[in-house]
Amino acid sequence: MIKPLLAAVLCGLAAFASANAADDNWNKPVEPFQIYGNSYYVGVSSLSSVLLTSPQGHILLDGAYPDSPQRIAASISKLGFRIQDVKLILSSHGHMDHAGGIAELQRMSGATVVASPLTAADLKRGGMDKDDPQFVGSTPFAKVAKVRTVRDGEAVKVGLLSVTAMYTPGHTSGGTSWTWSSCEQDRCASIVFADSINPVSSDGYKFNAHPQVLKQYEQSFAALEQASCDIIIAVHPEFSGTWDKLKNGKPHPLLDGGDGCKAYARQSRDNLGLRLAKEAGK
Ligand SMILES: [Zn+2]
């Protein structure tokens, strides 16, 4: 698990250094693919974007780096859909590696952007809040002008599509995962687009000194452990084992018996435990 751990350590902070690096390892073009039913992966190599389609219009989740939108739009087009038919863009959290492309995707599609109130504030600011564990004083991505806010547990809809916000704070205070159901013939699968829940920070920050943030992590671990979760796609796809699962040769390789979200929460809970022990000098 060296790669996910490394990426966990780098999440967010590395994005500042590589914002415009088209060949960044996280930003490589990948073939779009069907996740299940009307849900498709249209992101880049290490930053997920997911398209949920319907005849009345589509929903897109996350926008990756500032220079990812052309790749996301190309993937949407390759699948036979049109970026102009995206009606809503949902955001996980306001760090550049997931939100940097949202303003451009909104411009390309005319879609309404939807986020939790705290993530909406980051999107409008074009950068993270000063209380963010990773705050380093910069506002590095394009500001998003129009953002609609969503409550925890609220569903947003386009035609018959319905996606529910599940707040998963900690990595950021506004962090939001999104859940929905996609169907094929007689079977429907619960899909969770899981936000980052890894304890990453700028130098000098101590999670031990922020009990309210530790409480947020507990809320998020519990939410993910209890979620109906036939398929998990994490905002960094390797964290949910997406690429490994795709190699397993089964007809629906991402269906993993409902344990994917529990495993994801467990991995982050372990990482947080290690981090707290290190801060305590153990
Ligand atoms: Zn982040």
- 117, 118, 113: which is closest to 142 by C-alpha? 113
Q: How many CB atoms lie within 10 A of CB 247?
A: 8
Distance 19 CA to ligand 1 centre (A): 13
Alpha carbon distance 46, 11 (integer Å): 10
CATH superfamily assigned to domain 4-279: Ribonuclease Z/Hydroxyacylglutathione hydrolase-like (3.60.15.10)
Alpha helices in 138-246 (DSSP H): 211-226, 242-246
Judged on CB neighbours under 10 Å (0-12, 13-18, 19+), 248 is exposed
Distance 196 CA to ligand 1 centre (A): 6
**β-pair partners for 29:** 44
- The SS3 assignment for 220 reads helix
* Cα distances (Å, whole numbers) of residue 208 to 5, 11, 129, 272: 20, 20, 19, 10
Distance 13 CA to ligand 1 centre (A): 8
Distance 15 CA to ligand 1 centre (A): 9
What is the model's pTM? 0.93
Distance 236 CA to ligand 1 centre (A): 10
Distance 95 CA to ligand 1 centre (A): 5
Distance 99 CA to ligand 1 centre (A): 9
Task: Spell out which residues have Cβ within 5 A of ligand 1, the ion.
Answer: 11-12, 95, 196
Distance 171 CA to ligand 1 centre (A): 6
Digitized pLDDT (tens) for each residue of the chain, 282 residues in all: 323 333 333 454 444 444 444 446 889 999 999 999 999 999 999 999 999 999 999 999 999 999 999 999 999 999 999 999 999 999 999 999 999 999 999 999 999 999 999 999 999 999 999 999 999 876 689 999 989 999 999 999 999 999 999 999 999 999 999 999 999 998 999 999 999 999 999 999 999 999 999 999 999 999 999 999 999 999 999 999 999 999 988 889 999 888 999 999 999 999 999 999 999 997
Helix, strand, coil content of the chain in percent (nearest 5): 35, 20, 45
Distance 20 CA to ligand 1 centre (A): 17
Q: Are strands 176-184 and 187-194 parallel, antiparallel or unpaired?
A: antiparallel
Place of tokens 């013939």: 185
Distance 185 CA to ligand 1 centre (A): 36
Alpha carbon distance 249, 141 (integer Å): 39
Distance 187 CA to ligand 1 centre (A): 33
